[in-house]
Chains A and B, each alone.
Chain A
Amino acid sequence: MDIIDRRPNPHGKNLENRRRVLTRARQAVIKAVRDAVDSGTLRETGHGEAVTIPADSLHEPAFHEVFTSGKRDIVLPGNKEFSVGDRLKRPDGKGGGGGGSGSGASGEGGGGSEDNFRFVLTRDEFLDLFFEDLELPDLVKRDILDTETVSPMRTGISTDGSPSQIDLARSMRQSMARRIGLKRPKSQAVRELEAEIEALEASGEAPERLAAVRAEVVEARRRQARIPWVDPVDLRYRRFTPTPKPSARAVMFCMMDVSGSMTESMKDLAKRFFLLLHVFLERRYKRVELVFIRHTEAAEEVDEKTFFTDPRTGGTIVSSALEELIRIQHERYPASSWNIYAAQASDGDNYGGDTARAVGLLENDILPLVQHFAYIEVAPSGAVIRGETDLWRGYEPLAGRSEQMAMRRVSDRREIFPVFRDLFGKRPVSGLGAG
């Protein structure tokens, strides 16, 4: 008899088979991935998605019989109350319909009864499927984007490291805690005992006390020798982790009109677009920050949940959001170290007279800073082509002049993805599609 420990054997024997499953069910998986995107939040999407695909795409057919009519015997366990001659109601889904119409799906292990197939994609698989043929516009960030530079950054403490990185204060705190914990006699206490011995020796009184104190001193010194003042386990080092330099990070500004004229479904459209952009940027940059700016007459920065769910009433002044963007960008995201992306969603309404100001801000202050500015005009679902809106008319010449600016109209969920592909498609494709 042999006993063999197979645990160290190479794992992941089935990775190749798993990859083949994905290849085989590619169309179904791609569809499932897009559906998954539809129902996720911006930050979570793409972090290892579980997708469900229909079982047919991986069905393995074979010849098998299906019982639809006729007679058959079934032996079952667990009779509690039946006796011969009892008649039982036919359970649903078993056997053909009464009178032999035979339409019921019967038969054990029938081919159609397989469950849908669910599996978890890794982040890379997910994004690869999702962004098969998309490419980020203008990836070159002023000479430095391609070369990813790293610099060490403080990331807490560790128990080993180079001597030059010892954190003295922390190490000594550890050492003290250990000494207290192990009850190391304090030098002060030992000195007091020695003083007492001297005093007792000098006085010659209480010889038994003298002996006890002497023993105590010996013991204390022994303990002191055994428990070091500073032990290697006390040492703490400052830890540094190589962190990508700011050039590999991006900030994404999401701006949305939340005034009364924007309905829930329109916001939902906008959300999908933002979500796509975020997932897309995350793939390109080590770190992507999100800034949500909502506006009515005035703009404010909010968190994601508020952004999408909290309705506001009021008029619409688009330039307020652009100003807020410029303010936040100046404060927190200097253009020298951040890649800046901005996406604006609106129904196109604006307070009369503000459009010119918004266009001015965009052209002079924002476009020179950003990698890309996308304007999505959402219309209520099913709306027919309507006249150009105020904002659209204002932005249109800009989009013609500036490479960073792109604008599209969307009125239905289904259009989001094509529009996105259109905006970020590979160069030749977008060259054809832009117009």
Chain B
Amino acid sequence: MDSGSSPLLYSGTAWDFGTLRRAYDAIERIAETELGLDVYPNRIEVITSEQMLDVYTAHGMPITYRHWSYGKHFLQHENEYKKGYSNLAYEVVINANPCISYLMEGNTATMQALVIAHAAFGHNHFFKNNHLFRQWTDATSILDYLEFARGFISRCEDQHGVAAVERVLDAAHALSRNGVHRHGGKQRSLNLQSEEQRERERREYDQKVYNDLWRTVPSGKASIGADGVAERRRRLGLPEENLLYFLEKTSPVLKSWERELIRIVRLIAQYFYPQPQAKVMNEGCATWVHHQIMTRLHETGQIDDAAFLECIHSTSSVIQQHGFEHVGPNLNPYALGYAMMSDIARACTDPSAEDRRWFPDFAGNGDAIGTLKHAWANYRDESFILQFLSPAVIRRFRLFRLLDDTAESSLLVDAIHDEDGYREIRRSLARSFDPGLSTPDIQVLDVDLSGDRRLLLEHRTKPGQLLHAKDAAATMRYLASLWGYEVRLQEVDMATDNILAVHSAGP
């Protein structure tokens, strides 16, 4: 590219739709020809701050059904925003095809350009290429599905009353964290036509759902003995970790529309399942991409110095990393992600001896973008950190590890950023991003179908890491209301199989 020959895209802070389009075109040229990004078609929507609050409310879903919990989130965000505790994000991006980026009308021209580079290219590339998103979410149909869900729920409210719908949704929301398939194989892609047809069929053949259950009741001769239990569990697909899926398919008391509500909550939870698992990478990717693009725009004379300084200011405040003493979340995913992406790029083009030792497979290969794209496509936070966190980044963040042993009266520093500590820190940090740790491992074990239909669940854990008792009790009540009979949850020590605690709730 010949530098300095292009005219300025804009000057000053004001923008209009022409500016957006010019900026988009220039950014697209760099993103595609120089970075070789592969993105979904883009759609850019300009919204007001109030609309941004609306988008926030639903965790970035552009369309939501009505439920009080969204009102609660709205009020929380609104309070924080009005009191000035938090700024609104400059953008929100939806993993959909076409990929929707929301831009706030109050942004300056530079911020709009930056946001387009960040969201419409950085995040978009990540959504389209990362294996987690490819495997778990179907970007082409999510918008249609949300639209269907909203329509369906509002029809249910008309038909059965708001309170009845709310009862099911409240319960389903409480269980939604345990309502995802964590292991592949069972998920089907969202397909609007088939969803609608299935919903119709379900209504028409209301009874069939019950039959499914009754067929699983062991007949007289099979009702005794271990074989019977094993057979019953096989038929019901037990053990099952997806509580919502299990309830949707087998609950004896739910009506068909209630099953559909549970399915909606479950599918939406599934859609959001990958997001927190790739937060560091996703933000790192988007921040690195926007920084590259804005730098190129400046080098080619398409934005002026003032605009570029604004970019740098904005980027550096986003990737600010406080020390551990600071109140709030410890590691800023933007900071860590950006630092790791830049470090990989550096190791590719300008490796130190240390990089060659630690990363023999890509250090000095000269292909920063290819290496990054490979990482973006094939890793999630946990594995990415385990594979790519370099001593240089550990030193830069001055990471250290504390051992918190409650048998001791004090905390022990057992690794710091030195030769002995790098691998320890890297392993611990990676493990802290393990999605398995953030959600308790709860499975449906058995149903006493021949007796009182009690549902038995198991939480496998360690002593000292039990469920929050009050919340667990409330959640169990929700579970019982969906199951219709007694439910019982045992907390079991993984190592010894001892029962540590029992929660139960009646319908």
Which of the candidate stretches A70-78, A264-272, A304-312 sits at the interface with the other chain? A70-78
- Answer whether residue B155 sits at the interface, using C-beta atoms and an 8 A cutoff: no
Bound CA span A62–B429, Å: 26
Can you list, as one digit per residue, whether each of B328-351 has a CB less than 8 Å from chain A (1) or not (0)?
A: 001100000000000000000000
Given known pairs A63-B471, A74-B404, A75-B425, the reply for A80 and B398 (CB within 8 Å) is yes
- Answer whether residue B14 sits at the interface, using C-beta atoms and an 8 A cutoff: no
Given known pairs A1-B28, A65-B466, the reply for A79 and B416 (CB within 8 Å) is yes
A3, A6, A71, A117: the one contacting B76 at CB < 8 Å is A117
Which of the candidate stretches A91-99, A203-211, A347-355 sits at the interface with the other chain? A91-99
- Answer whether residue A162 sits at the interface, using C-beta atoms and an 8 A cutoff: no
Bound CA span A83–B402, Å: 11
B43, B406, B471: the one contacting A100 at CB < 8 Å is B406
In B1-54, the 8 Å CB interface with A consists of 17, 20-21, 24, 28, 41-48, 50-51, 53-54
Q: Are B46 and A6 in contact (CB under 8 A)?
A: yes
Bound CA span A117–B170, Å: 19
Given known pairs A2-B43, A100-B464, the reply for A61 and B474 (CB within 8 Å) is yes
- Answer whether residue B230 sits at the interface, using C-beta atoms and an 8 A cutoff: no
Bound CA span A86–B403, Å: 11
Tell me the smallest distance from the CB of A62 to a CB of chain B, in Å.
5
- Answer whether residue B271 sits at the interface, using C-beta atoms and an 8 A cutoff: no
- Answer whether residue B378 sits at the interface, using C-beta atoms and an 8 A cutoff: no
Q: Which residues of A contact B330 (CB under 8 A)?
A: 76-77
In B447-499, the 8 Å CB interface with A consists of 459, 461-468, 470-472, 474-475, 478
Which of the candidate stretches B63-71, B204-212, B283-291 sits at the interface with the other chain? B63-71
Which of the candidate stretches B125-133, B138-146, B407-415 sits at the interface with the other chain? B407-415
Tell me the smallest distance from the CB of B50 to a CB of chain A, in Å.
6
Bound CA span A90–B402, Å: 11
Bound CA span A402–B411, Å: 77
Q: Are A84 and B178 in contact (CB under 8 A)?
A: no
Q: Are A62 and B323 in contact (CB under 8 A)?
A: no
Bound CA span A119–B73, Å: 11
Can you list, as one digit per residue, whether each of A339-358 has a CB less than 8 Å from chain B (1) or not (0)?
A: 00000000000000000000
- Answer whether residue B361 sits at the interface, using C-beta atoms and an 8 A cutoff: no
Can you list, as one digit per residue, whether each of A1-43 has a CB less than 8 Å from chain B (1) or not (0)?
A: 1111111010101101111110110000000000000000000
Q: Are B402 and A74 in contact (CB under 8 A)?
A: yes
Can you list, as one digit per residue, whether each of A52-75 has a CB less than 8 Å from chain B (1) or not (0)?
A: 000000111111111111111111
- Answer whether residue B421 sits at the interface, using C-beta atoms and an 8 A cutoff: yes
Q: Are B399 and A75 in contact (CB under 8 A)?
A: yes
- Answer whether residue B293 sits at the interface, using C-beta atoms and an 8 A cutoff: no
Q: Are B57 and A14 in contact (CB under 8 A)?
A: yes
A7, A82, A84: the one contacting B105 at CB < 8 Å is A7
Q: Are A21 and B68 in contact (CB under 8 A)?
A: yes
- Answer whether residue B359 sits at the interface, using C-beta atoms and an 8 A cutoff: no
**CB nearest to A21 among chain B residues:** B71
Tell me the smallest distance from the CB of A116 to a CB of chain B, in Å.
11
Q: Are A20 and B440 in contact (CB under 8 A)?
A: no
Q: Are A70 and B406 in contact (CB under 8 A)?
A: yes
Q: Are B402 and A71 in contact (CB under 8 A)?
A: no
Q: Are A84 and B420 in contact (CB under 8 A)?
A: yes
Given known pairs A11-B50, A60-B174, the reply for A1 and B402 (CB within 8 Å) is no
Interface of B is mostly: mixed
Bound CA span A129–B69, Å: 21
Bound CA span A20–B401, Å: 45
B66, B416, B428: the one contacting A20 at CB < 8 Å is B66
- Answer whether residue A47 sits at the interface, using C-beta atoms and an 8 A cutoff: no
Tell me the smallest distance from the CB of A2 to a CB of chain B, in Å.
5
Question: Which of the listed residues B20, B425, B471 has the most CB atoms from chain A within 10 Å of its own CB?
Answer: B471
- Answer whether residue B431 sits at the interface, using C-beta atoms and an 8 A cutoff: yes
Q: Are A3 and B420 in contact (CB under 8 A)?
A: no
A77, A85, A111: the one contacting B399 at CB < 8 Å is A77
- Answer whether residue A152 sits at the interface, using C-beta atoms and an 8 A cutoff: no
- Answer whether residue A89 sits at the interface, using C-beta atoms and an 8 A cutoff: yes
**CB nearest to B25 among chain A residues:** A1
Can you list, as one digit per residue, whether each of B368-394 has a CB less than 8 Å from chain A (1) or not (0)?
A: 000000000000000000000000000
Tell me the smallest distance from the CB of A118 to a CB of chain B, in Å.
6
Question: Which of the listed residues A17, A18, A97, A98 has the most CB atoms from chain B within 10 Å of its own CB?
Answer: A17
Interface residues on B, range: 35 or more
**CB nearest to A72 among chain B residues:** B404
Given known pairs A1-B24, A70-B464, the reply for A75 and B71 (CB within 8 Å) is no
Q: Which residues of B contact A18 (CB under 8 A)?
A: 71, 74-75
- Answer whether residue B135 sits at the interface, using C-beta atoms and an 8 A cutoff: no
Q: Which residues of A contact B173 (CB under 8 A)?
A: 60
Tell me the smallest distance from the CB of B338 to a CB of chain A, in Å.
14
In A117-155, the 8 Å CB interface with B consists of 117-119
- Answer whether residue B400 sits at the interface, using C-beta atoms and an 8 A cutoff: yes
- Answer whether residue B160 sits at the interface, using C-beta atoms and an 8 A cutoff: no
- Answer whether residue B321 sits at the interface, using C-beta atoms and an 8 A cutoff: yes
Bound CA span A119–B105, Å: 26
A73, A82, A97: the one contacting B428 at CB < 8 Å is A73
Bound CA span A250–B444, Å: 66
Can you list, as one digit per residue, whether each of A309-325 has a CB less than 8 Å from chain B (1) or not (0)?
A: 00000000000000000
- Answer whether residue A112 sits at the interface, using C-beta atoms and an 8 A cutoff: yes
Q: Are B467 and A63 in contact (CB under 8 A)?
A: yes
Tell me the smallest distance from the CB of B120 to a CB of chain A, in Å.
8
Q: Are A99 and B428 in contact (CB under 8 A)?
A: no
Can you list, as one digit per residue, whether each of A95-107 has a CB less than 8 Å from chain B (1) or not (0)?
A: 1111110100001
- Answer whether residue A88 sits at the interface, using C-beta atoms and an 8 A cutoff: yes
- Answer whether residue B325 sits at the interface, using C-beta atoms and an 8 A cutoff: yes
Q: Which residues of B contact A14 (CB under 8 A)?
A: 53-54, 57, 70-71, 74
Q: Are A71 and B403 in contact (CB under 8 A)?
A: yes
Q: Are B404 and A64 in contact (CB under 8 A)?
A: no
In B160-197, the 8 Å CB interface with A consists of 162, 166, 170, 173-178
Q: Which residues of B contact A72 (CB under 8 A)?
A: 403-404
Can you list, as one digit per residue, whether each of B105-122 has a CB less than 8 Å from chain A (1) or not (0)?
A: 100000000000000000
**CB nearest to A4 among chain B residues:** B45
- Answer whether residue B232 sits at the interface, using C-beta atoms and an 8 A cutoff: no
Q: Which residues of B contact A11 (CB under 8 A)?
A: 48, 50-51
Q: Are B399 and A79 in contact (CB under 8 A)?
A: yes
Question: Which of the listed residues B162, B412, B418 has the most CB atoms from chain A within 10 Å of its own CB?
Answer: B412
A62, A63, A112: the one contacting B459 at CB < 8 Å is A63
Tell me the smallest distance from the CB of A4 to a CB of chain B, in Å.
5
Bound CA span A98–B429, Å: 25
Q: Which residues of B contact A111 (CB under 8 A)?
A: 468, 470-471
Q: Can you report 9 residue pairs joining A to B where beta carbons are below 8 Å apart?
A: A1-B24, A4-B46, A5-B46, A7-B51, A64-B467, A73-B401, A85-B412, A100-B406, A112-B470
Taking A77-B397, A85-B412, A107-B468 as known contacts, 14 extra A-B pairs with beta carbons closer than 8 A to each other, sorted by chain A number, are A1-B41, A20-B67, A21-B75, A24-B68, A58-B68, A61-B478, A63-B459, A63-B471, A64-B440, A69-B407, A75-B400, A75-B429, A76-B324, A88-B412
Q: Give residues in B with beta carbon < 8 Å to A.
A: 17, 20-21, 24, 28, 41-48, 50-51, 53-54, 57, 66-72, 74-76, 78-79, 98, 102, 105, 162, 166, 170, 173-178, 321-326, 330-331, 397-418, 420-421, 425, 428-429, 431-432, 439-440, 442, 459, 461-468, 470-472, 474-475, 478
Q: Give residues in A with beta carbon < 8 Å to B.
A: 1-7, 9, 11, 13-14, 16-21, 23-24, 58-80, 82-90, 94-100, 102, 107, 110-112, 117-119
The 3 A-B residue pairs with the shortest CB-CB distance in the complex, in nearest-first order: A78-B323, A17-B71, A69-B464
